[in-house]
Amino acid sequence: MTTLDNNQQQRMADKIAQIDRLCARARIMPVITIMREEDILPLADALAAGGLTVLEITLRSVHGLTAIRRLREERPELCVGAGTVLDRQMLAAAEEAGAQFIVTPGSTAELLQAGLESDVPMLPGTSSASDIMLGYALGYRRFKLFPAEVCGGTAALKALGGPFNGVRFCPTGGVNPDNLQRYMAQPNVMCVGGTWMFDSEWVKNGDWARIQQCSAKALELLA
């Protein structure tokens, strides 16, 4: 079993605190895949105008790193992280682009170790108790539950709360306005991730006002 020294323990505690602060700010974190570079700023502006200012930009498209870099430079008031980080190389590229946090869809020993060494806080993905235990051994206490609905949704979160006291989650995958409140009512949920507030057709058509309105309505559900 890996044993963290005092310095590593303190660094991990600091990064957990950072994750807690950004999730408290976010409440709902848009998970964004940029398909056209011209959408980067207007989409971010529409989401922010609706109250969503913590953005996860996935690396699923060739525009992901560009989006992170531009938003960090041109919209410094936003908190911008990298999602769909799959390995050490992608983590390094996201750091270089200026990502303020890292989100992964799953956990590997290599990626968890890279996150431990990084100065940027990481939210590792999990879909099982075994995944959590891999991260737990390295000091991780905050995870992304993905795909949340497929993994059991709120029932899974209730079950995981027993053996993993002190662990909290950001469920992503299948979260929508119909189940949002149920997720956020779970004591081990700190925020949720989703895409429903910016339908791909709205982005394609430049319907920024609709995205702003949907973002604001999403937060109203948590009022």
Catalytic sites, residue numbers: 56, 144
Which of the 8 DSSP states describes residue 172?
B
CB 193 within 8 A of CB 180: no
200 burial (CB, 10 Å; 0-12 / 13-18 / 19+) is: exposed
Q: Virtual CA dihedral for 113, 117, 118, 119, nearest 10 degrees?
A: 140
Does the bond joining 187 to the residue before it have cis omega, within 30 degrees of 0? no
Reported residue count of the chain is 223
Q: Virtual CA dihedral for 195, 199, 200, 203, nearest 10 degrees?
A: -110
Q: Which value, in Å, is the radius of gyration of the alpha carbons in the chain?
A: 17
The SS3 of residue 55 is: strand
Q: Which two tokens stand for residue 93?
A: 């590229």
Say how far apart CA 24 and CA 10 lie, in whole Å: 21
First-last CA distance in the chain: 43
